[in-house]
Amino acid sequence: MKYKLIACDMDETLLNDDKEVSQQNYDAITQARELGIKFVLASGRGFMNIQETAKRLNIHNQSNEYIISFNGGVITENKDNKILLQQGITFEQVNELFKIGLGYDVGFHIYTLDTVYIYRISDEERDYMTGRLDNCINLTEPNLDFLANQVIMKILFQNDDRHYLEKIAQAIPKDVLSTFTISYSGNRYIEFNQQGVSKGDALIKLAEQLNIKREEIIAIGDNNNDISMLKAAGLSIAVANATNDAKIAAKVVSHYNNNQSAVAQIIDQYVLAK
């Protein structure tokens, strides 16, 4: 099979624990792109927080290069960050969920197109965010009224206990929960996007626009917010450090983790060796 598009998660997949693209990953991605293969970053981050990695890969501000961000809430063409698809959530949805979350031991991230607002964030979480989500705006009061007229892409709750987050999801009233697509990432976040929004759905829509068949796509990921993308691709690969659920969803589990340039190993085996 000749693959035409590689969709790749960033954190804990492409990036190592120092939040960098290794030279080995860079070289393999560059060689794949020289063969005409699209390399699409697919992240829960907003596209403005992906620009440095795009620069590292030489796809920043380039025509006919694309990014999937906000867990599929936005597809952009990299030239001038042109938005091709945007699927956010309403202020009413966010505000209701925020008020529910205030009753639990969680921190909050609220994403607009270009800003991340944070509330009740621990020092440990700030350390984790450094290099991933810089220049966030810290809220001092539990009030989101200032967002009433802004475009909001998603909201997430943060707690280091994944099981605690799952219990919260079970306790949220079904009529509220049913308006969202929920996913887990980093074993520390439960993320809430608009119902129907996912990396997989965005990947399919982008592939259709590019006239690329699903069997011509490789998807690489590590966490539960990557599962829809793994299921959408012809060849789906979970890195060695992936969650059990992501490994189950993938057709292949790599022997290499994000600190061992797993993406390069995958490209070498399934693209460059052909």
Question: What is the pLDDT averaged over residues 246-253?
Answer: 98
Which strands form 74-77's sheet, in the order they lie side by side?
A: 82-86, 74-77, 66-69, 38-42, 5-8, 217-221, 235-238, 252-253
Position 180 scores a pLDDT of 97
The C-alpha atoms of residue 272 and residue 263 are separated, in whole angstroms, by: 12
The C-alpha atoms of residue 46 and residue 113 are separated, in whole angstroms, by: 7
CATH of the domain at 120: 3.30.1240.10
Query: Which of 174, 194, 214 delimits the end of a domain?
Result: 194
Q: How would residue 171 be classed by pLDDT, with cut points 50, 70 and 90?
A: very high
Q: Give 75's strand partners.
A: 68, 85
Domains held by the chain: number:
2
Question: Could you report the per-residue pLDDT of 9-51, keeping only the tens digit for each?
Answer: 999 999 999 999 999 999 999 999 999 999 999 999 999 999 9
Query: pTM of this prediction?
Result: 0.95
Residue 108 has pLDDT above 70, yes or no: yes
Position 274 scores a pLDDT of 61
The C-alpha atoms of residue 235 and residue 231 are separated, in whole angstroms, by: 9
Structural domain of 57? 5-86+197-272
The C-alpha atoms of residue 187 and residue 123 are separated, in whole angstroms, by: 17
Same structural domain, 105 and 46: no
Question: Could you report the per-residue pLDDT of 78-95, keeping only the tens digit for each?
Answer: 999 999 999 999 999 999
Same structural domain, 24 and 152: no
The C-alpha atoms of residue 68 and residue 221 are separated, in whole angstroms, by: 13
